[in-house]
Amino acid sequence: MRKSIVVLILVCFWACKTDKSQGESSDLSDWSMVETQGQNQSINMMMWKGDPKINAYMSDYVLPKIKSKYGIDVNIVSGQGSMIVQSLMTELQANKSESEIDLVWINGETFYQLRQIDALYGPWTSELPNAEFIDFDNPFIGKDFQQDIDGYELPWGNVQMTLIYDQAKIKNPPQNKVELLDFVKTHPGQFTFDNHFTGLTFLKSLLISFAENPDELYGDFDEVTYQKYSQQLWEYINKLKPYLWQNGEVFPENVAQMHQLFASGEIWFSMSNNDSEVDNKISEGLFPKSARAYVPDFGSIQNSHYLGIPKLSKHKAAAMLVANFMISAEAQSHKSKPEVWGDGSVLDIENLPENQKQHFENIAKRQYAPPRSELNQKALMELNPEYMIRLAEDFRTKIINP
């Protein structure tokens, strides 16, 4: 008995051994240096792991490719925005010389907070050969929540928020605020939004819809403007509240939970920051085939998501190699296939060299969500992160716990 336990322990130690390769020195301005320094290392990437498709894209496509191309091992660690900020913040505070994390998947308020505490390495994105083809002129890509990205984060994908409904249950989904209110009144308990990014993004599009001109809310955070429109927003939400799921006393904690509720038939609407989500989830078998995505007339927010490298990372060259691959035409086009992930590409496809352009040809169109060109017409810009932080705070104090 005792022997077997000892043997087991040894086996387990062996099974979970970690190898730490040495970090590199400083000069990363020359790409050939980056290529030589970055190879054959192992790095940690922290990202949101809340979607099986995205996880599969990373583990079945990106990781093997990178391993065979550069010999880099990427260990993917689960953790989104706040967790990334908190971990990097503690490291800075503890005066660590080396970060546990080498690459992070971020945007908006995480980027804002990481810049606030100066936790990001940069500028680095212009070093990447593949960055040449990124459509930086597109304000939905070149600006992140109204902030200049300044080379501190690299655009990776672009998406637009959509509402998801079940065609079999709803013939004409509500297109504006009045219709939405009418809808929840006649169908109490069927609508809700989550208490996290997705729900907040929905709240932001509503907030913008109260302004006569969205430009009023674009740019830096403005207290007066916020007060003016948020007051109208909360009045409206309070009108909806009694007719929301669970009488608006509880909200799903995250988007995955909301999808689960939608899939089991508990609610009739879900929503997603990824416009291809509905195709993904139908192909996974989670959503019924009658699910459809749409953008109401008041529009929805389109934004990009990015990759960042922590300042204290000891494997910056390797992280840059990985990032460069992730924005290659090959990886971007694969990512944009609806059956893979359906994430919008950040590349300026029209201006790609012919041999790279071909990657984007013959990609099957998605079936259940409107085409991007149609969504683009209703696209709203992201607001300054301060708006989101305030909305989150006020949502808690004014709606969840009044």
Partner 1 sequence: MKLKVYPILIKLLFWLLIVLPVVAGLGYALSYSLGLTGLLSKGFTLEYWQKALTTQSLWASFLYSLSIGIISVFISLCFAVSMALSWNKSIQQGRLSYFIFLPLCFPATVMAFVVLQWLSPSGWFSRIAFELGFINSLNAFPNLVRDFYGFGIIVCSVLLITPFFTILMSNIYKNENLLHLENLSKTLGASTAKTLKRVTLPILFQKSKMTLLLFVIFVMGSYEVPLILGRQYPQMVSVAIVQKIQKFNLNDIPLGFAMSVLYVILVVLVLMVLGKPSRKYLKPHFK
Partner 2 sequence: MMSKVLKYIYVLAVVFPLVFLLGLSLAQQWQFPEILPQQWTFQHWGKSLFQEGDILKSLFLSLGLSLTLASLVSVLAFFISKFIAYSKYRQIYMRLTLVPYILSPVVLAVIFQYYFTLANLSGNFIGVLIAQLFFALPFGIVIFNNFWNNKLKSIEQLSFTLGASSRQSLLKVIIPLSKPAIVLCFFQSFLVSWFEYGLTQFIGLGKVKTLTVMVFNFINEANLFYAALACVLLVLPPIVLLYMNKKVLILAR
Residues that bind partner 2 (CB under 8 A): 5, 8-9, 11-13, 15-16, 18, 44, 46, 49-52, 55, 59, 75, 77-79, 83, 87, 90-91, 93-96, 98, 100-101, 254, 256-257, 259-260, 263-266, 285-286, 288
Instruction: Give which of partner 1, partner 2, none residue 13 binds (C-beta under 5 to 8 Å, depending on kind).
Output: partner 2
Least distance from partner 1 to the Cβ atom of residue 190, Å: 8
> Is residue 7 near partner 1 by the rule CB under 8 A?
no
Q: Which residues contact 144 (CB under 8 A, 6 or more apart)?
A: 107, 108, 111, 153, 303, 304, 306, 382
Least distance from partner 2 to the Cβ atom of residue 94, Å: 4
Least distance from partner 1 to the Cβ atom of residue 189, Å: 5
Q: Which residue number, 261 or 331, has a Cβ lying nearer to partner 1?
A: 261
Q: What span, in angstroms and rounded, lies between the C-alpha atoms of 88 and 82?
A: 10
Q: Which residue number, 77 or 363, has a Cβ lying nearer to partner 2?
A: 77
Q: Which residues contact 149 (CB under 8 A, 6 or more apart)?
A: 111, 125, 142, 143, 155, 306
Q: What span, in angstroms and rounded, lies between the C-alpha atoms of 187 and 182?
A: 9
Q: Which residue number, 180 or 200, has a Cβ lying nearer to partner 2?
A: 200
| Sign of torsion over alpha carbons 53, 59, 60, 61 | positive
For residue 259, give the nearest of 169, 194, 180, 170 by alpha carbon: 194
**Torsion angles phi and psi, residue 6, rounded to 5:** -60, -45
Least distance from partner 1 to the Cβ atom of residue 291, Å: 16
Site string for partner 1, 218-247 (x = CB under 8 A): ----------------------------x-
Residue ranges in 165-196 assigned as alpha helix (H): 177-186
Q: What is the DSSP string of 337-364?
A: STTTT-PBP-B-GGGS-HHHHGGGTTPP
Pick the piece of the chain touching partner 1 (CB under 8 A) from 2-10, 151-159, 259-267, 345-353: 259-267
Structure tokens at 394: 């006020």
Least distance from partner 2 to the Cβ atom of residue 280, Å: 12
Instruction: Give which of partner 2, partner 1, none residue 100 binds (C-beta under 5 to 8 Å, depending on kind).
Output: partner 2
Query: Computed over its alpha carbons, how large is the radius of gyration of the chain?
Result: 22
3-class SS of residue 335 = helix
Number of residues located near partner 1, criterion CB under 8 A: 32
Instruction: Give which of partner 1, partner 2, none residue 44 binds (C-beta under 5 to 8 Å, depending on kind).
Output: partner 2
Q: Which residue number, 33 or 392, has a Cβ lying nearer to partner 1?
A: 392
Instruction: Give which of partner 1, partner 2, none residue 77 binds (C-beta under 5 to 8 Å, depending on kind).
Output: partner 2
Least distance from partner 1 to the Cβ atom of residue 378, Å: 26
Out of 237, 261, 291, 346, the residue judged to bind partner 1 by CB under 8 A: 261
- Enumerate residues 370-389 that contact partner 1 by CB under 8 A: 388-389
Instruction: Give the number of other Cβ atoms within 10 Å of residue 400's Cβ.
Output: 13
> Is residue 264 near partner 1 by the rule CB under 8 A?
yes
Q: Which residue number, 60 or 249, has a Cβ lying nearer to partner 2?
A: 60
Contact criterion met (CB below 8 Å) for 241 and 399: yes
DSSP 145: T
Structure tokens at 215: 């430009």
Instruction: Give which of partner 1, partner 2, none residue 251 binds (C-beta under 5 to 8 Å, depending on kind).
Output: partner 1
Out of 116, 126, 351, 367, the residue judged to bind partner 1 by CB under 8 A: 116
> Is residue 330 near partner 1 by the rule CB under 8 A?
no
**Torsion angles phi and psi, residue 144, rounded to 5:** -115, 110
Out of 33, 92, 170, 379, the residue judged to bind partner 1 by CB under 8 A: 92
3-class SS of residue 402 = coil
Instruction: Give the number of other Cβ atoms within 10 Å of residue 80's Cβ.
Output: 19
- Residue 7, H or E segment: helix 2-15
Interface residues toward partner 1, by CB under 8 A: 81-83, 85-86, 89, 92-93, 109, 113, 116-117, 188-190, 195, 246, 249-251, 253, 261, 264-266, 388-389, 392-393, 396, 400-401
